[in-house]
Every structure is written in structure tokens, then in C-alpha cells.
Structure 1
């Protein structure tokens, strides 16, 4: 019988510091404010990126950022009720490019079909 070798846990039960992060910010009343986002299930999360390149690829070139350690970001987020931290999120919804075209004639035709 062979012995199993213990490997590093891919999902540790204790959070491990991620090191210095690129944290997206927005203008605030006295400087800048960390941006918080929503998870796919609707929960609030702080977000940090390990490289500027990943931040730009996800949020665009116009996104301002600051460098913060993972504990500092958690210290900012926790008093606001944000306890989740997402590092290097892979997906982000883009803002709609424009409002959908409204076609009054097509809407009138659909309404006519519904009410006869």
C-alpha cells in the first residue's frame, strides 16, 4: 500500500494574505474611496488585483487604483459590512454600450397582436 503525500491545500480554511494589491477606487468627498462590487449571488465583496495588468484587463484603462495590503483592504471593508475579498476576479459585467433602440411601430404591432 502506498502512502499518500500531503500536498498544499488548494482551498485553505484560513485566509492567506495575498500581499500588496491593486485596489480599484473612485473619487470620494475627501480623496478616494475603495470600490466594492457584487458577487454573482449578490453579496458585497472587496476586490483586489495582484497586477495592474489584471486590473486594467477587467475594469478598463480609466479605472483609478491604489496599492493596499490585503489586511488593510479588509480593515477598510469590514466596518462597512463587507467581509468577502475577491482577488483577481476573472469576469466582470461590462456597462451597456447604449440604450436599446426603441421602435414605436414594432411596439404598436406587438400590442395589437396581444389585444387583437
Structure 2
């Protein structure tokens, strides 16, 4: 099940990061709209390919995946249906849980 319906294209992000950090393989990359963490994945892939030591900082507000009706029932927000059905209460939980599983 795809949680994110329109993530940033990873290959494009990796290409741009490679161009921007070609002479500085120890750069720190900041992404203020992390959502699916495509930038973090691209940084890790690029480091694996060229032996770089780039670091990343991902920022994502804890945007809820649901709204509540007047009776307190939680209803998936438009665009967050898959995440809500998968049990995520907010968008930032998705990649946090994914990274915790790989530690």
C-alpha cells in the first residue's frame, strides 16, 4: 500500500544533490518539507554510491492524518487516507517508524 500518493522523484533529488554537493561530499542537507523523506533516501543512496559523508536534517510538522466529527469519530483527511488506514496518527510518524525498524 502506497502511503504517499505523490512523493518527490528520488532520482531527480539525488541528481540535484550530486550536482550541488559534488565538491563537498560532507555537506549537510536541510529539507523543511520532509513528508516521505525522499531527500533523506537520496542522500543515503548518494553516499553509498560515491563514498560521501553527507548528512541530512528532515523537518516535518506533525500534520494529523484525520479530522474529528462532532461526535469524536476520527475520519481520514483528504490525501491522508492510506496513512490513516495504516494506523498513523500524523504524517511525521510514517518515516520515524520506518527508520526505527531499520536501526
Range class of TM-score, shorter chain: under 0.3
- The alignment's TM-score, normalised by the length of structure 1, stands at 0.24
- The alignment's TM-score, normalised by the length of structure 2, stands at 0.26
Normalized per residue, the structure richer in strand is: 1
Normalized per residue, the structure richer in helix is: 2
